[in-house]
């Protein structure tokens, strides 16, 4: 019967809402704790840099995709850049090319660093499998290993 199914569905919705509402006190407590931690950070930083303010800090969400390249595209674009490159490239050079290919014309230095870190992690994993190689220097210059 349709009414029985609707009743069960409404009960499930109520249970989800009540469960979510039960977390509100813990969430409020964490927000207060974070506020105290931020105040402490400001005190420590302004003791060395009196003109520093938190206003210029860009908030970053934990466990979130933080680079302006579509999820999963950074590695693909990096390998494409390496395959087309006439010489081995550093992680930052690859990052700049990936950002350019994804439409970023004038990326911020921090963005380049984040993308370079993402690509560097991927390259190190592929290096262990023999897909790419580097010169062992710092910064490492990377290239794609040609299949034999």
**Which tens digits make up the pLDDT trace of 101-141?**
999 989 999 999 999 999 999 999 999 888 999 999 999 99
Half-sphere exposure of 30 (CA within 13 A, CB side): 5
Task: Give whole-number Cα distances, 125 to 29, 38, 49, 91, 139, in Å.
Answer: 40, 36, 39, 14, 17
pLDDT at site 33: 98
DSSP state of 58: P
Length of the chain as a residue count: 148
Task: Kindly indicate the confidence band of residue 1, based on its pLDDT and cuts at 50, 70 and 90.
Answer: confident
Task: Kindly indicate the confidence band of residue 61, based on its pLDDT and cuts at 50, 70 and 90.
Answer: confident
End-to-end CA distance of the chain: 66
Give the burial class of 43: count Cβ atoms within 10 A of its Cβ; 0-12 exposed, 13-18 middle, 19 or more buried. exposed
The domain ranges of the chain are: 2-56, 73-144
pTM above 0.85, yes or no: no
Q: How many CB atoms lie within 10 A of CB 34?
A: 10
The CATH number given to 73-144 is: 1.10.10
């Amino acid at each position: 019967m349709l009414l029985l199914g609707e009743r069960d569905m409404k009960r499930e919705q109520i249970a989800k809402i009540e469960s979510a509402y039960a977390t509100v006190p813990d969430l409020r407590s964490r927000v207060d704790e974070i506020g105290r931690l931020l105040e402490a950070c400001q005190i420590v930083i302004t003791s060395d840099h009196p003109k520093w303010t938190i206003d210029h800090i860009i908030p970053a969400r934990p466990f979130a995709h933080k680079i302006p390249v579509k999820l999963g595209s950074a590695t693909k674009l990096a390998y494409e850049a390496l395959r087309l490159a006439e010489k081995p490239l550093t992680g930052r050079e690859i990052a700049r090319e990936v950002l350019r290919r994804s439409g970023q014309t004038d990326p911020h230095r921090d963005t380049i660093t984040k993308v370079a870190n993402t690509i560097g992690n991927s390259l190190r994993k592929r290096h262990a499998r023999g897909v790419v190689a580097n010169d062992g220097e710092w910064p490492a210059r990377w290239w794609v290993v040609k299949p034999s």
